[in-house]
Structure 1
Amino acid sequence: MSEAELKLFLHRREAVADGVALLDLRAPGGGTLPPWEPGAHVDLVLGGGLVRQYSLCGDPADRDRYLVAVLREPAGRGGSAYVHDRMAPGQAVPVRGPRNHFPLVPAERYLFLAGGIGITPLVPMLAAVTERGAPWRLVYGGRTRRSMAFLPELVDRYGDRVVVCPQDETGLLDLEAELGVPRPGTAVYCCGPEPLLAAAERVCAAAGWPPDALRVERFAPRPDAGAPRTAFDVELAATGRTLRVPADRSILDVLGEAGVAVMSSCEEGTCGTCETAVLAGEPDHRDSVLSERERASGRTLMICVSRARGDRLVLDL
């Protein structure tokens, strides 16, 4: 079962960096949109059945529009090409969400690490922590200055709290310098391409940062999502019904074939729509949403990609 959709339209499209388009989405005839908080994202339902997740990068207090920024990805799966080449003002754009699996948590201070288009969820976070009066620092990397969305505005607004690191000028972000020594009371937020996220996780683990000090957001399947798969049983607690999940099928697939309606969207472990409570059994997490602490708790899993470590799971369905 798909999540309910908002019927929005593209009011305006604007280039905000080389290869980056800002979309201004509004309700037909005006109207107030559902609330959201920094870190939230929406799904855009594009042509040909494409569904893609994009972080909201506007002002949460502005309930008249949703702003998302889309990077053209020549090696992508068609979503960004559709946005850049085919979307035009006035076009209807079904939207699902907002959802937030990258929330801004209270902390004494913040370190933000952005790589390229990964700046988008951090933009409203910077405004929020500034309003709170919390100290923070942003280290922002990209291929070139011209490719870095919102760069002039961020520098003008926040000054030297923004450390600008274009790769053609300074090389890759020096994560050892930023993360090599744990800083008590610091929440670290990192968003960008997979190599950046994996490197940040690796450096934080090696340096001994506290669990969940580092928070990352992925919009692509985790590298471990393709690990070996085995068959297992799923028991539905509401009815006691047991279904067999073969090695080559997902829990979501099997539930759908059995007529069990569950909300879903991306079907690759990135959006969080199909998160389901686990009552018994040990999940084999393969999503890109849950934190390490949430994974360790075993309380929920994303049934579109995650599996069982044992022979059986009991789900709150």
Structure 2
Amino acid sequence: MLELKLNQVSKQFSAKRAVNGISIQISNGVYGLLGANGAGKTTLLRMICGVLNPTSGTIQMNKEDISDMGERYRDLLGYLPQDFGYYPDFSAEEFLWYVGSLKGLTLAASKGKARELLGTVALEDVARKKIRTFSGGMKQRLGIAQALLNDPRILVLDEPTAGLDPKERVRFRNLIADLARDKIVIMSTHIVSDVEYIADQILVMKKGELMKSGTVDQLTATMKGCVWTCHVPLRDAEEWNARYCVSNLRHEGDQVELRIVSADQPNETAISVVPSLEDFYLYHFQDEEEAVTAKGK
């Protein structure tokens, strides 16, 4: 079993500290990395992949510094950045053959793996079409395929579901859940539902620091007594929305049912309900301009 250990990892860019003193130990399983835009998620992932070097701190794989491992560490990695590079005049299969050669696969191995992965991400019917003709979601699925080409033991995915429709998201979540049986999967996202059902651990970043970590049950348990539902007249809904953190709203005739995240009971008729990971996220990020819920971007 692999063990990835971060010890007081920080990254400074001029006057800005993007990542500040993160320490965590990671082994096989799915790790969902949540945080608002600018939280430092991408910087952290790029350091884990060796694209950036930490300003201070260490990253070790099985007690060996990844900077000393060089090619041995890169052979373990599969990485999908937010904006992965591709050649628009390559076909999907040609692109995967090319990436396979960069990863040290023989042409025969690249062709076999490309065929398999194009089927996995539902692109087998367009394998010979130019990438420039692909939709955003199709390009994203191709990016997922290229990250899996070398059968990585560590899979790092930065916003992997961007551009995918709900059906594709379900397919992706099922794929990741299946892959994670013998891999480390670290997946950053703004879409809470993408990690709520498949992540073994949730890592919550805020302003460059690891604010919280734990299972979904552990994190939502901290919200007990902080999530409420209540009904208010339709005419008052806007005022309530301005006063409280409202995670959901449903019209019922001349009434509105509100789901409210608040440490205090909103009114005497409000009923305490079981919190979700989305409630947890909203509670801790309601001061962030870019807070994003499970409804997506």
Structure with more helix by fraction: 2
Common fold by TM > 0.5: no
TM-score normalised by L of structure 2: 0.29
TM-score normalised by L of structure 1: 0.28
Q: Pick the structure with greater CA Rg.
A: 2
